[in-house]
Amino acid sequence: MDMNVRPESMARITTLELANAFIDEQIAALRAQIGDKKVLLALSGGVDSSVVAALLIKAVGKQLVCVHVNHGLMRKGESEQVIEVFGKELDANLIYVDATDRFLDLLAGVSEPERKRKIIGAEFIKVFDEEASKLEGISFLAQGTIYPDILESKGVKAHHNVGGLPEGMQFELVEPVKLLYKDEVRVVGEALGLPHGMVYRQPFPGPGLGVRCLGAITRDRLHALREADAILREEFEKNGLAGKVWQYFVAVPDFTSVGVRNDQRYMGWPAIIRAVNTTDAMTATIEEIPYALLHHITDRITHEVEGINRVCLDLTPKPIGTIEWE
């Protein structure tokens, strides 16, 4: 029997009861697989890796070592939430690495999107490897692979696959949610008691804000992007749009326009709002945001965020426009 094929008899996990049954089953299976050995997990703070971490903490506690690398391109409050939930509330064995300067120094002056992605991906692996090689006696590598990853690649998702680990470090994989669909992972996450905001977090690209701070990333523009994006998220949350819209974010391009503040002309960047709905990410439609809310968001971003003096709305569906700008 192929372990990577979901059995037809497997019921879709839609209720707390089914989720709890799955959790009990996985805890037993994980304990049997891992025994008294140690497991390493790259914990991004995304839904999949968070659910895998919570499952493993329940199953083997401190035998799990979580490494959270903050590449400086996270959304506002995300790394803090990982530390709060896993480090404090769940008392996990958590290694937090703030590698912001390393990443931003490497990215200085790089404007080509593909190069930015490659630099971020390669450095992420490097930082993770450095942390892994400091650890003794790790036998297993846990990954947040889910069923769509297997269907898409018939293998392992490239950014989940920790390449370039030091020679001689041979890990056996632990993939407790690999037969689940995304909606099931969320139900399991709720059953495990993870915060709703973490479980229903929107998809976020591996390079993070790196592909939304368009062109060459500068620290001041990245800061403005992070703050503007946080305002958009807060307003969508408050106004009941967060659950309705699949993905919504701000992108900030690398050019300025003239504005007026306190009767003075000044140069500032535009913040571009993108809000889309999709079922499969292959095509996407535009979410209609009430104008009153758009005015309010614009008012907040232009008054509260240093360096931004315009707000634009991206009305382009996919195909034609991809979901991300870069």
pLDDT of residue 243: 83
* pLDDT greater than 70 at residue 254: yes
For the chain, which domains are there?
A: 16-199 (3.40.50.620), 212-313 (3.30.300.10)
CB 163 within 8 A of CB 125: yes
* pLDDT greater than 50 at residue 309: yes
Phi-psi region of 84 (alpha: psi -120 to 50; beta: other; left: phi over 0): alpha
Name the E strands within the chain: 38-42, 64-70, 93-98, 138-142, 172-174, 247-251, 257-261, 264-277, 285-286, 308-313
Name the E strands within 178-217: none
Q: Which of 182, 224, 187, 232 is nearest to 48 (CA)?
A: 182
Query: Residue 263's pLDDT band (boundaries 50, 70, 90)?
Result: confident
pTM, two decimal places: 0.87
Q: Average pLDDT, stretch 170-178?
A: 91
Q: What is the DSSP string of 266-317?
A: EEEEEEEEEEEE-SSSSSBEEPPPPHHHHHHHHHHHHHHSTTEEEEEE----
CB 209 within 8 A of CB 103: no
* pLDDT greater than 60 at residue 259: yes
CB atoms within 10 A of CB 196: 11
Average pLDDT of the chain to the nearest whole number = 92
**What is the tens place of the pLDDT at every residue in 78-122?**
999 999 999 999 999 999 999 999 999 999 999 999 999 999 999
pLDDT of residue 1: 62
Q: What is the DSSP string of 74-87?
A: SPTTHHHHHIIIII
Q: Which of 103, 132, 305 is nearest to 210 (CA)?
A: 103
- Cα–Cα distances (Å) from 312 to 234, 253, 273, 300, in that order, read 18, 11, 6, 13
Q: Average pLDDT, stretch 262-283?
A: 90
